[in-house]
Amino acid sequence: MSGEKTISATITNPPSKFESITIGKPVNKTRWQRAVPVYGVSVINPFFLVLIALVLLSLVLTVYREIVGLGPASGMNDMFGWGIWKTFNVVVLTAWGSGAFAVGVAAWVFGRKRLHSLMRMALLTSMLAYACGLCLLGVDVGRPWNFYWVIFPWNWNVHSPMAEIAICMSLYASIPLFLENIPPVLERLWHFDPRLRPGVELAERVLHKGFPVIIAAAYLLPAMHQSSLGALMLLAGQRVHPLWQTPFLPLLYVVAAAFMSFGCVAGTTMLCCLFWRRAMDMEVLNEAARITAWTIVGWMAIRLIDLLFRGSLVTAFHFDHYAGIFWTETALISYGGYLLFRSLRDRRTRSMYLGYAFSSLGGMLYRFSPTTLAYMPGPHAMYFPSTIELLIAIGFASAGIAAFLVMVKLFAILPAPAQEWRNMAAYFKLRKPYIGWTKYFNFGFFGDTEPTDSE
Partner 1 sequence: MAITRRDLILNIAKAGVPAAVAMSGAVKLAQAEEIPVPNTPVGLLYDASLCIGCKACEAACNEANNTPADISGDQLHQAPTDLNVFTRNIIKLYKPEDGSASSFVKRQCMQCLDPACAAGCPFQALYKDSESGVVKWDGGKCIGCRYCTISCPYSVPRFQWAGFNPVITKCELCSHRLAVGLKPGCTSVCPTGAVIFGPRTTILADAKQRIKKNPGRYYQDRVYGETDNGGTQALYLSRVPFEKLGLPEIGPESVPAKTLRWQKRIYSYFALPALLYVGLVGMIRKNLKGHEEEAHQLEKQTGLRAQL
How many residues belong to the site for partner 1 (CB under 8 A)?
Answer: 82
Q: Is position 28 an interface residue for partner 1 (rule: CB under 8 A)?
A: no
Cβ contact 27:20 at 8 Å:
yes
Q: Is position 291 an interface residue for partner 1 (rule: CB under 8 A)?
A: no
CB closer to partner 1, 51 vs 118: 118
**Of the candidates 257, 117, 127, which has an alpha carbon nearest to the alpha carbon of residue 182?**
127
CB of 356 to partner 1, least distance (A): 25
Q: Is position 421 an interface residue for partner 1 (rule: CB under 8 A)?
A: yes
CB closer to partner 1, 83 vs 362: 83
CB closer to partner 1, 236 vs 406: 236
Interaction residues for partner 1, span 230-269 (CB under 8 A)? 231-239, 247, 250
CB closer to partner 1, 51 vs 224: 224
Interaction residues for partner 1, span 32-61 (CB under 8 A)? 33-35
CB of 236 to partner 1, least distance (A): 5
Among the candidate windows 71-79, 292-300, 301-309, 345-353, which touches partner 1 by CB under 8 A?
71-79
Nearest-Å Rg of the Cα atoms of the chain is 23
Binding mask 397-416 for partner 1 (x = CB under 8 A): ---------------x----
CB of 277 to partner 1, least distance (A): 20
| Phi-psi group of 384: left, alpha or beta (phi > 0 → left; psi -120 to 50 → alpha; rest → beta) | beta
Binding mask 188-207 for partner 1 (x = CB under 8 A): --xx------------x---
Find all residues with CB under 8 Å of 361, minimum gap 6, and list them: 332, 336
Among the candidate windows 74-82, 128-136, 274-282, 350-358, which touches partner 1 by CB under 8 A?
74-82
**Of the candidates 127, 105, 130, which has an alpha carbon nearest to the alpha carbon of residue 116?**
105
Amino acid at 47: F
**Of the candidates 339, 369, 368, 361, which has an alpha carbon nearest to the alpha carbon of residue 352?**
339
CB of 337 to partner 1, least distance (A): 27
Binding mask 105-134 for partner 1 (x = CB under 8 A): ---xx-x-x--x------------------
Cβ contact 136:85 at 8 Å:
yes
| Residue from 13, 89, 125, 228 binding partner 1 (CB under 8 A) | 228
CB closer to partner 1, 76 vs 344: 76
CB closer to partner 1, 48 vs 82: 82
> What phi and psi values does residue 34 have, to the nearest 5 degrees?
-155, 165
Q: Is position 166 an interface residue for partner 1 (rule: CB under 8 A)?
A: yes
Quick count: other Cβ atoms within 10 Å of Cβ 349?
16
| Residue from 48, 82, 335, 338 binding partner 1 (CB under 8 A) | 82
Interaction residues for partner 1, span 338-377 (CB under 8 A)? 377
CB closer to partner 1, 358 vs 421: 421
CB of 200 to partner 1, least distance (A): 11
CB closer to partner 1, 149 vs 327: 149
**Of the candidates 387, 385, 384, 383, which has an alpha carbon nearest to the alpha carbon of residue 61?**
387
Q: CA–CA separation, 384 vs 74, rounded Å?
A: 9
Among the candidate windows 68-76, 91-99, 280-288, 330-338, which touches partner 1 by CB under 8 A?
68-76
Interaction residues for partner 1, span 1-20 (CB under 8 A)? 3-4
| Residue from 136, 224, 280, 364 binding partner 1 (CB under 8 A) | 224
CB of 230 to partner 1, least distance (A): 10
**Of the candidates 405, 425, 433, which has an alpha carbon nearest to the alpha carbon of residue 191?**
425
CB of 174 to partner 1, least distance (A): 17
Q: Is position 384 an interface residue for partner 1 (rule: CB under 8 A)?
A: no
Interaction residues for partner 1, span 143-162 (CB under 8 A)? 143-144, 146-147, 149-150, 155-162
Cβ contact 258:102 at 8 Å:
yes
CB of 450 to partner 1, least distance (A): 7
CB closer to partner 1, 77 vs 315: 77
